[in-house]
Structure 1
Amino acid sequence: MAAPTPLILCGRSVPEGPIVLLTGSTGGIGYETARLLAAGDVTVVVHARTEEEGAAAFQRLVNSGADPRRLQPAVADFSDLRQVAGLAAAIGAAYPRLDVLVNNAGTGGTGHRTLTPDGHELTFQVNYLAPYLLTRLLADRIGASPVGRVVNVSSSLHRAGRINWTDPSWKRRYNRGAAYAQSKLALTMFTAALTELEPKVREAVSVHPGIIATGMLKHYGHRSRPAIEGGEVVARLADPGAKVLDGCFYDGRLPAKSAAAAVEPEAVEKLWRLSERLTGLDRRPS
């Protein structure tokens, strides 16, 4: 059965100004980031997992005062890599360039090991393999922008992670927290990889937006700050006019030290090649 076609509402002219694709825009940090970006001169591609969630987020953003001409809904379920590829194709067809890609969509995982239709552990695919594939497939559009930035929304918990090289989908000894930490370590390593291995991407950063009152809170405890504060952190890095430190890990608004494994050159390249195999990019014509 063919994968569902991601929804892109593009039957109208796109306003002048920068274009930002923000994954996971329907709630929490993603929603607040979209609201803040749309308040400026940025056109925000508002990504949702389903059409219903996307329509609801679009209406909430408009009700909050966002200009509907600055919002472009898009749909893809990141647990299905065919939909991720479809989203990239739709974005590529709709826009000649993409100024900023914010890889924000994520999951805290489940209490038991869950496989996606692609055969990968759910947390690893949604939090890492899907953004990896989306970024690689959109590299030409990102490279067409004078900004050409990727913002990976990571976590301070990446420091507790390790890449399970022989068993990244946790066939043995699955642990929800370890799977989450692995996925965020991989995403932070991907930031370093983009600066070294993907010349079409001009800038790449990763960020821990803070301990925020979202569905991820259970990984940190019970003390948290409102989602708007996390949105402000991500929106600043996603602002095409803002200056960022290429390859940097930010803890909130400030540059911080990432895990040593996140910038170890051999491990970073090894993960890049493994990700190519797991997403099928190694089988695509060059």
Structure 2
Amino acid sequence: MTDWTTADIPSLSGRTAVVTGATGGLGYETAMALAGAGAIVILTGRNDAKGLRAIEGICERFPDALIAYEHLDLASLSSVADFAKRFAAGNEQLDLLVNNAGVMALPKRQQTEDGFEMQLGTNYLGHYALTARLLPQLRRAKASRIVNLSSLAHRSGAINFDDLQGKRSYRPWRAYCQSKLAMLMFALELQRRSLAAGWGVTSVAAHPGYARTDLIANGPGANTLQWRVGRWLQPFISQSAAEGALPTLFAATSPAAEPGGYYGPNRFYELKGPPAPAKITPQARDFAAAAMLWDVSATLTGVSFDDIAVAA
């Protein structure tokens, strides 16, 4: 695994991938690499103009790329359902789902159209519902994978079941950490349930370390003293979006990626470097909390993996 790069991605010819949040940053670099390896890649995002520019950018590098763009807003359960219906109508199976899209540390509490706290709704609940709705297509594929994007921030996270939506007390960073912990717990719980129920789907998680993306540059801390110091340290502690996408790509494509594994950069505090197994905190391995989160998510989204699996 040492110094693993995109050159190590096996041929993905004939395989179909969906990447959320693929109009820029980590998602764009992930989609670029998958297309370069021959996959049929569906880029999704909520900004259609950026989506078209992303398609143009990938085609400039890979003129023969098999790519398309589809509108998908993870902050809208109806948008998730509409996308899943469109995908099912045109695709019998799905080989790879990369749950990448996200928002970070919004200064003021915002809500999705379904009334969820924006970070929990976009980063986690939307992906939970999307994954469930695409389960039939994932099950029809041979050796399909789901990759959930977590973060180093999960280490500071806690699932506050008493105030999951931050209605009583909202703190931007706490809400972000909770959403990223939820994504890692979801990945691990999904692997356990896939094995138990015989779904035949592999679930893996990844994080990018400190990757220089618009999520950071346009974040709520921009232009603060802490942000300016961070900018000065960036060359030493961060890496490009393309480098930050490598753990995701390893989790998505490498034969060495373990089911239920978690991958991130291998250097100082997992901030940068080639992909390697990443640290999973004890709260992410809390099976009882993960099961509770799964049930709460099904209730909140109105989407049940078990019901969809039976129907499939």
The Cα shift of 1:16 comes to: 5.7
Aligned to 1:235: 249
Could you tell me the TM-score, scaled by structure 1's length? Answer: 0.88
Q: TM-score, normalised by structure 2?
A: 0.81
- The alignment-based identity, stated in percent, is 34
| Alignment-derived partner of residue 303 in structure 2 | 281
Residue of structure 1 equivalent to 2:183: 187
In structure 2, list runs of 5 or more residues that go unmatched: 1-11, 222-226, 266-274
RMSD, aligned CA: 2.0
Q: How does 1:39-50 map to 2 (within 5 A)?
A: 39-50=36-47
Q: 1:214 matched to which residue of 2?
A: 213
CA distance in 2, matches of 1:246, 1:282: 22
Q: Does 1:81 align with 2:61?
A: no
Runs of 4+ residues deviating >4 angstroms: 218-221, 282-286
Match of 1:60 among 47, 52, 57: 57
Aligned partner of 2:168 in structure 1 is: 172
Contact 1:154 1:206 in 2 (8 A): yes
Does 2:26 align with 1:29?
yes
Please tell me the residue identity of whatever aligns with 1:60: G
Moved more, 276-285 or 107-116: 276-285
Q: Which amino acid aligns with 1:89?
A: K
Q: Residues 231 and 203 from structure 1, CA distance in 2 versus in 1: closer, same or farther, beyond 3 angstroms?
A: same
Offset of residue 231 of structure 1? 2.2
Higher normalized helix content (fraction of residues): 2
Provide the secondary structure at the position in 2 that maps to 1:206: strand
Contact 1:128 1:183 in 2 (8 A): yes
Once structures 1 and 2 are overlaid, which stretch shifts more, 54-63 or 211-220?
211-220
Aligned twin of 2:259:
246
Q: Which residue of 1 aligns with 2:3?
A: none
1-side partners of 2:73 and 2:242: how far apart?
25
Decide which moves more: 198-207 or 42-51.
198-207
Report if the CA contact (8 A) 1:48-1:76 is conserved: yes
1:256, distance to aligned residue in structure 2 (A):
2.3
Q: Which runs of 5+ in 1 are unaligned?
A: 1-14
Q: Deviations over 1:204-233 (max 9, x none)?
A: 111111210013335894422111101233
Q: Which residue of 1 aligns with 2:288?
A: 266
Cα distance between partner residues in 2 of 1:25 and 1:202: 22
Is 1:256 matched with 2:270? no
1:139 deviation in Å? Answer: 0.8
CA-to-aligned-CA distance 1:68-110 (integer Å, 9 cap, x gap) = 4x10211111111100111111111111111110000111142
Find the counterpart in structure 2 of residue 51 from structure 1.
Answer: 48
For residues 259 and 212 of structure 2, the distance between their equivalents in structure 1, rounded to whole angstroms, comes to 28
